Structure 1
């Protein structure tokens, strides 16, 4: 049979084969290919890496795929720094860095791309690409490395830090001179300045807010070293004793770079520059003045166009940078507008103090009564045959007494206005169940940390009800207004609710502050104690929660953390943390030993072991669930040989 006669049979056979194949195929949508997760591959550079005598105006990097350049212009760091930003562009799969200025002669340049080189499709980053070349016959290869963190909480700067290396050793260089070399930290605060020439340098870190590569005192943070930096490199030869069968031994080795990594801590220089931030007249007799610096003992206010004596009373905020002024003379407070002259200490350009005067207008208008309320009030007055006498004004104590009092809790009550007299004998506390109301021996103390505030501390009994009473007219404020009667009942918590933390400190060489912190990013201080020698410190009556613990190396013994001073070459006071979140349970006591030998690396890696275990279990359960779903899907898939599967024939 000729081919022409065989064609019908061949066509029928092919159709039958297609039907058989399609009948046995699995039913389902075609699956997509795997996601591209491979970063770009660098194929070629022009010039070559570590090239000498470079004299071109651009460098080129050829990759195996197309790139996105958005991040490159933001993250690329060129050292030594250029006066003008280079032009960054691509041509096909080649990245071009085009210089806008002549490069310095006989200088080694380094380009740190960080993770800015990403492919065009999936944005896979090529991590930590660095490139360098020399414009002269020699290649500089020295380096300086380290880490920069916040001195107060040992966290890296979120925006990154700029490292500047100066061969000019004058103290003013960081303010006025562009640096010789620069680098930027990564997300962990780590940095490396490489391709440095031999010499002696000063190293600084600044959060360069205005991108001028210089330190702006009082507006930017700075970290500095107490020593000069002299980078060196030494080759250490090592004989390979494993090599056999040759007459001479193979000599290998490594290059050791010095100095060792630096660990630097940011501080914000406290530059005294006094000015008024804001003023407000909150009521006819209450004024608020906010300053950017402490104003205590240097502040005065004089009236303009009015005569008065002993017409004011000042209250300063806890930081002494805010002042509440109360007008005690009603003849002055009745004026809607008051011109005042504020006088306070300022420093001149030579740093010498002088009295600065500011004139301000303080205005106040009484709130207008709504027409509807005004008409209703007049209607009620018309209906009454005899008007009722106005009630005698009294002020109300402000308190923060909870319904459940902690066993180490304190009662505080505050007057809304300055107090003239307070008869504390009219304050009584007794057991709620005591029908005779026998007074308990309590003492009312004026709180020095808060104006117009009074407190009561007491050795509370667990699960016991108490009642606090303050008689009417126990206090009289500066306007002759008496206090209202006050009564509040509360109950203390059971003792088994609390836990306690004990720390056994060793190698204590200076005054210290230990703080119990909330387990959050703000690290709010809940409790703190001071100590100055080896021994134990106990925190009792702690709620069953998670805590962080921090110590301050209080070098000046003032009971708080101090930021240091670049002007005075004083480093920030050290801090350290317990490297674990402490979970305290009810009716439980924990004891921790803590060696306070200073950590040169200022480590902070606080682990929440319970949270880590929870995430581990969740990940394991998720994996097991996914594997189970895959097994079930495989069994139900047509053509599967597993139990319960089916095939289409």
Structure 2
């Protein structure tokens, strides 16, 4: 038998057989190496940490593995701040920070990397790395720390800029670069180390343009009213320890002063008037939006048309949004209208003057399909033109809340409304006996009217507005509007009562939706100790917020650095309230202000769910671990199965 030509095939078949047998003899689970979870280790620095009289141009940090540098340039904070950004590069396992300017004399510099140093493979972070050196013969060692949060909702401000100024003039934050800077972490915490002795002002900014200066009205700010004077004290323990050289080794701890600062971020309400937009939304409707209120100062005149009575203004609550209705049809028919707007503006000295703007307001009819045009003309020939009427919009659904009200809105301004043509009666009343209700115009919404009634639980009502009960400014009447209403049962609702104590100013308590937006469900004002009750709340989860309404104007107000006052304080109930139907919750609440402004709202139901999920996950992981250990290489059960192959 000649094997000369078949020898390669024999070798391949033999190798395949070895592989098959080998695989049968190793039936255990494949085991890979453990995942790398160890962060990079700093093994050397040039210069040494804390060196004095540093005259170099760069800092080199060497690690035990290669780094990924994507986040370093964004995260690194050098304090005192530099005029020019340093060059950041790597050479093998060494990170190099190369300065592009002369450093200050006799200054202590800190390089705060936070968690931006990560290894190249698994991105394990080296947490809170900070490197320090001095260009003088002293290493400053004082510290300022604290937390920055949003003044309105107490959420932490991450990546906020904190500034320390030795220039104590009020304008320094606008014009002078700070002496020291720091950035907050995701929890809003910050720490400035290696500060020189002195007196400082402290600020926090949302530094949008990166100039380290406060741009009033465009950037958020937080400040502390008093001076910051850093100091440090060593507090020894009571029992000193004798050592062998007959000296005293004293143990204890170092305490930095002042205590942590709690800065509250807000956007200062600076008067800066300008027109945001001007649009002609229809032939007879123009909308003007302003940055500030134009109440008692806004006017419009026509430049290319004459009419004595051609306009009607509608203002929103803030009077910074104005709808102009063109009431003269001869004016509204013109496609182009030149208008001169006038409103109050402030000059550089803060004095009011009349600003005048001229603009062309155009309107173009929307395009209509030719087929629709033809059908419209054919219909006009066949049928008489119907009398135009407008439709009401309403908030009505099939169910009325016990404390609810009917709201109706007209599409255009109303000239006349005969409220006697509104009928509310019991659906079961065949005689349709009218019920007495309250009728009023809502001030916060355009052309909206409110019909209020003391509803009876589970009762059914019929609501009717007769045709032509209302006429708008163009002489168009309203269509008939009718709706059947069923009132919800009383035991569907729950209530919450708060017994407040230590009330020292006007306050607002708000029931909020349990979401990130914290939409306001209900709000009540109070100014003395005692109970405050929210009735007819739907069964769901709520957050509760209190506003310390110092000026008693019924709303939260931001602060002012310009006038040196802080934003109004807020606080939250530390738990989510899950309200059930036909249930009343009662809480005692001491409203003495918490000056740490902590917001830690616990959802008990969610915490229980998380704990159960964590326990279930741990159980499954343990079962998987036990299962895998049964099939390790060399296991006796694995050996018995090998014999069968």
Give TM-score, length-normalised by structure 2: 0.93
* Cα offset, 1:485, TM superposition: 1.1
* Closer, same or farther: CA 35–60 of 1 in aligned 2, 3 Å: same
Return the alpha-carbon distance in structure 1 between the equivalents of residues 76 and 506 of structure 2.
45
* Cα offset, 1:476, TM superposition: 1.2
2:8 corresponding residue in structure 1: none
2:153 corresponding residue in structure 1: 153
* Closer, same or farther: CA 243–410 of 1 in aligned 2, 3 Å: farther
Aligned residues: 627
* Closer, same or farther: CA 65–369 of 1 in aligned 2, 3 Å: closer
* Closer, same or farther: CA 64–502 of 1 in aligned 2, 3 Å: same
Instruction: Check if 1:132 corresponds to 2:132.
Output: yes
1:452 corresponding residue in structure 2: 447
* Cα offset, 1:332, TM superposition: 1.5
Greater CA deviation, 626-635 or 94-103? 626-635
* Closer, same or farther: CA 180–480 of 1 in aligned 2, 3 Å: same
Residue by residue over 1:428-468, the C-alpha shift from the partner in whole angstroms, topping out at 9 and shown as x without a partner, is: 10111111111111121111222311111111111111110
* Cα offset, 1:638, TM superposition: 8.4
Maintained 8 Å contact 2:405/2:451: yes
Following superposition of structure 1 onto structure 2, how do residues 431-580 of structure 1 map, counting pairs within 5 Å? Answer: 431-580=426-575
Return the alpha-carbon distance in structure 2 between the equivalents of residues 138 and 614 of structure 1.
55
1:648 corresponding residue in structure 2: 642
Instruction: Check if 1:120 corresponds to 2:100.
Output: no
1:340 corresponding residue in structure 2: 339
Residue by residue over 1:153-175, the C-alpha shift from the partner in whole angstroms, topping out at 9 and shown as x without a partner, is: 001224x1111111111111101
Return the alpha-carbon distance in structure 1 between the equivalents of residues 417 and 426 of structure 2.
24
Return the alpha-carbon distance in structure 2 between the equivalents of residues 341 and 106 of structure 1.
62
* Closer, same or farther: CA 645–494 of 1 in aligned 2, 3 Å: farther
2:365 corresponding residue in structure 1: 366
Determine helix, strand or coil for the equivalent of 1:648: helix
Return the alpha-carbon distance in structure 2 between the equivalents of residues 177 and 594 of structure 1.
45
Greater CA deviation, 232-241 or 543-552? 232-241
1:101 corresponding residue in structure 2: 101
* Closer, same or farther: CA 107–631 of 1 in aligned 2, 3 Å: closer
Return the alpha-carbon distance in structure 2 between the equivalents of residues 89 and 120 of structure 1.
14
* Cα offset, 1:249, TM superposition: 5.8
Maintained 8 Å contact 2:243/2:249: no
* Cα offset, 1:612, TM superposition: 1.3
1:10 corresponding residue in structure 2: none
* Cα offset, 1:84, TM superposition: 1.2
Maintained 8 Å contact 2:59/2:97: yes
Maintained 8 Å contact 1:23/1:648: no
What is the aligned counterpart of 2:425 among 422, 427, 430? Answer: 430
* Closer, same or farther: CA 493–279 of 1 in aligned 2, 3 Å: same
Unaligned runs of 5+ in 1: 1-17
Return the alpha-carbon distance in structure 1 between the equivalents of residues 396 and 418 of structure 2.
21
* Closer, same or farther: CA 413–23 of 1 in aligned 2, 3 Å: closer
Maintained 8 Å contact 1:239/1:249: no
Return the alpha-carbon distance in structure 1 between the equivalents of residues 248 and 379 of structure 2.
113
* Cα offset, 1:627, TM superposition: 2.9
Residue by residue over 1:36-75, the C-alpha shift from the partner in whole angstroms, topping out at 9 and shown as x without a partner, is: 0000011111222111111111111111111112211111
Greater CA deviation, 518-527 or 431-440? 431-440
1:262 corresponding residue in structure 2: 261
2:590 corresponding residue in structure 1: 595
Return the alpha-carbon distance in structure 1 between the equivalents of residues 128 and 614 of structure 2.
30
* Closer, same or farther: CA 614–646 of 1 in aligned 2, 3 Å: farther
Determine helix, strand or coil for the equivalent of 1:538: strand
* Closer, same or farther: CA 235–619 of 1 in aligned 2, 3 Å: closer
Maintained 8 Å contact 2:470/2:477: yes
* Cα offset, 1:477, TM superposition: 1.1
Return the alpha-carbon distance in structure 2 between the equivalents of residues 414 and 52 of structure 1.
75
Determine helix, strand or coil for the equivalent of 2:430: coil
2:5 corresponding residue in structure 1: none
Give TM-score, length-normalised by structure 1: 0.93
What is the aligned counterpart of 1:410 among 405, 413, 418? Answer: 405
Residue by residue over 1:535-562, the C-alpha shift from the partner in whole angstroms, topping out at 9 and shown as x without a partner, is: 1110111111111000000000000000
Return the alpha-carbon distance in structure 1 between the equivalents of residues 220 and 528 of structure 2.
33
* Cα offset, 1:646, TM superposition: 4.9
* Cα offset, 1:396, TM superposition: 1.2
2:15 corresponding residue in structure 1: none
* Cα offset, 1:610, TM superposition: 0.6
* Cα offset, 1:263, TM superposition: 0.3
* Cα offset, 1:632, TM superposition: 4.6
1:5 corresponding residue in structure 2: none
Determine helix, strand or coil for the equivalent of 1:174: helix
Instruction: Check if 1:58 corresponds to 2:53.
Output: no
Return the alpha-carbon distance in structure 1 between the equivalents of residues 399 and 633 of structure 2.
65
Following superposition of structure 1 onto structure 2, how do residues 607-618 of structure 1 map, counting pairs within 5 Å? Answer: 607-618=602-613
Return the alpha-carbon distance in structure 2 between the equivalents of residues 140 and 519 of structure 1.
47
Maintained 8 Å contact 1:419/1:478: yes
* Closer, same or farther: CA 467–235 of 1 in aligned 2, 3 Å: same
Maintained 8 Å contact 1:240/1:250: no
Return the alpha-carbon distance in structure 2 between the equivalents of residues 257 and 629 of structure 1.
49
* Closer, same or farther: CA 243–403 of 1 in aligned 2, 3 Å: farther
Maintained 8 Å contact 1:426/1:471: yes
Maintained 8 Å contact 1:76/1:116: yes
* Closer, same or farther: CA 511–629 of 1 in aligned 2, 3 Å: same
1:70 corresponding residue in structure 2: 70
Maintained 8 Å contact 1:164/1:183: yes
* Closer, same or farther: CA 150–471 of 1 in aligned 2, 3 Å: same
Return the alpha-carbon distance in structure 1 between the equivalents of residues 252 and 225 of structure 2.
33
* Closer, same or farther: CA 625–357 of 1 in aligned 2, 3 Å: same
* Closer, same or farther: CA 646–431 of 1 in aligned 2, 3 Å: farther
1:350 corresponding residue in structure 2: 349
2:27 corresponding residue in structure 1: 27
* Cα offset, 1:635, TM superposition: 5.2
1:15 corresponding residue in structure 2: none
* Cα offset, 1:102, TM superposition: 1.4
* Cα offset, 1:237, TM superposition: 2.5
* Closer, same or farther: CA 458–53 of 1 in aligned 2, 3 Å: same
* Cα offset, 1:379, TM superposition: 3.9
1:318 corresponding residue in structure 2: 317
Residue by residue over 1:346-365, the C-alpha shift from the partner in whole angstroms, topping out at 9 and shown as x without a partner, is: 11111111000001111113
Determine helix, strand or coil for the equivalent of 1:412: strand
Determine helix, strand or coil for the equivalent of 1:113: strand
Maintained 8 Å contact 2:28/2:633: no
